[in-house]
């Protein structure tokens, strides 16, 4: 039926699967016949966890007041976990200022504001998992 070569603890084995009947396989290992009972493994199904309620409630809406200026959304460059949030709603930030720390692939990354302005929304908290391009902080310029 099928031939395999196995190396176990440095020893080479030539295995030929002769027949499979339900959960019993007849195999030949280096010339010796064996009947092997196989256990069927139940496939594990990964269930996606629903997003936390707090994330769904924190949708960002730009201000309706046209005189308020432009809105800058600081987004996650990669998926990861928020380690620190360095600003709060109402804080003034400058261009290049770190607003949070994101751990991605076991490395901490300082996320910085591209332009200065007033923080109008903070959509994250320490320990929260975020996706790529997720809005972390909103700054009104």
Could you read off the pLDDT of 49-90 as tens digits, one per residue? 555 544 444 445 555 554 457 889 999 998 999 999 999 999
Q: Which helix (H) or strand (E) holds 4?
A: strand 2-8
**Whole-angstrom distance, CA of residue 52 vs CA of residue 54:** 5
The values of phi and psi at residue 71, to 5°, are -105, 130
Ranges under pLDDT 70 in the chain: 1, 40-68
C-alpha distances in Å from residue 82, one per residue of 100, 103, 106? 7, 6, 12
Indicate whether this model's pTM tops 0.85. Answer: no
Which pLDDT score is estimated for 2?
80
Which pLDDT score is estimated for 52?
54
Domains and CATH numbers, the chain: 2-37 (no CATH), 68-140 (2.40.50.100)
**Whole-angstrom distance, CA of residue 63 vs CA of residue 135:** 16
């Amino acid at each position: 039926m099928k031939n395999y070569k196995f190396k176990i603890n440095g020893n080479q084995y030539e295995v030929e699967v002769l027949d499979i009947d339900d959960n019993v396989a007849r195999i030949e290992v280096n010339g010796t016949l064996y009947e092997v009972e196989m256990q069927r493994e139940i496939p594990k199904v990964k269930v996606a966890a629903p997003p936390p309620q707090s994330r769904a409630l924190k949708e960002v809406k730009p201000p309706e007041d046209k005189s308020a200026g432009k809105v800058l959304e600081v987004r996650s460059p990669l998926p990861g976990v928020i380690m620190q949030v360095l600003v709060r709603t109402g804080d003034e930030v400058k261009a290049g200022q770190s607003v949070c720390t994101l751990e991605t692939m076991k490395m901490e990354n300082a996320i910085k504001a591209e332009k200065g302005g007033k923080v109008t929304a903070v959509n994250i908290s320490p320990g929260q998992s975020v996706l790529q391009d997720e809005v972390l902080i909103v700054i009104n310029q």
